[in-house]
Amino acid sequence: METRIQGAVKRSGRNRSDVTLVAVSKKFSAGRLREAYDAGVRIFGENYVQEFAEKQPQISDLKDARFHLIGHLQANKARQACELFDVIETVDSERLLRRLDTAAAEAGHSLDVLLEIKLSAEANKSGARPEGIPDLLKAAGSCGHLKLSGLMTMPPWSDNPEESRPYFQKLAVLAKRHGLPHLSMGMSGDFEVAIEEGATIIRVGTALFGARPKPRAEAVSPP
């Protein structure tokens, strides 16, 4: 993994310190997360608030670990997410910005956030449209407990990483246009292309942890 990151960094003429690795630990146990921590991983990504809420008490002693929410966040879970996560990467509405700001104010701390931008036409993808970025930035500017520093996106899945490149290029253009330094883009199958296009955050799961465990089949009573 590190060799591949270093190679992509070198090809793009950047420094290794420019790229943050987020280990996507969704669906893996707290024990697996702890193993990764012991191996040197310090930043983890989770998709589901409730799932991480169940893990968090088991890893609360990992004092320098940081946790990113990288899955869709419903506004009614903003308070709980603010309590659990250091970074929310999937803000996509003014309503959610306001909810997170209120929650952070009540908790007495600031919260790092990124805007999730939808660049594909997939109906099942979340995110704000690019044309909505100015209004979201204006709203974020009035949220005193939020620090909005970048954009995040997820291109359509493909087994060819080159098909992700145009989406990464578009996000980089948008970030530059709006003066935002961070780009969260690239996963296990395309993170090298993402780095070449300017990613500062890559979200890697299966390439680090292996295949995710399948849900257990419920026991069926005999007839």
Q: Does domain 2-209 have CATH number 3.40.50.1820?
A: no
What per-residue confidence (pLDDT) applies to 157? Answer: 92
Which among 101, 157, 148, 106 has a CA at the least distance from the CA of 128?
148
Q: How confident is the model at residue 222 (pLDDT cuts 50, 70, 90)?
A: very low
What per-residue confidence (pLDDT) applies to 8? Answer: 97
Ramachandran angles phi, psi of 67, nearest 5°: -130, 130
What per-residue confidence (pLDDT) applies to 123? Answer: 86
Summarised one tens digit per residue, pLDDT across range 110-168 is 999 999 999 999 888 899 999 999 999 999 999 999 999 999 999 999 999 999 999 99
- In the predicted structure, residue 194 carries a pLDDT above the cut 70: yes
Strand partners, 21: 202
Question: 94-107 and 133-141 are packed helices; what angle lies between their axes, rounded to 10 degrees?
Answer: 20
- In the predicted structure, residue 220 carries a pLDDT above the cut 60: no
207 compared with 123, residue with greater pLDDT: 207
- Domain regions of the chain by residue span: 2-209
Summarised one tens digit per residue, pLDDT across range 15-56 is 999 999 999 999 999 999 999 999 999 999 999 999 999 999
What per-residue confidence (pLDDT) applies to 40? Answer: 96
**53, 77 contact by CB (below 8 A):** no
Q: How confident is the model at residue 221 (pLDDT cuts 50, 70, 90)?
A: very low
Ramachandran angles phi, psi of 134, nearest 5°: -55, -45
Which among 118, 116, 115 has a CA at the least distance from the CA of 143?
115
Q: What angle do CA 174, 177, 182 make, to 5 degrees?
A: 60
pTM recorded for the entire structure:
0.93
Summarised one tens digit per residue, pLDDT across range 80-93 is 999 999 999 999 99
Compute the average pLDDT of residues 184-208. 97
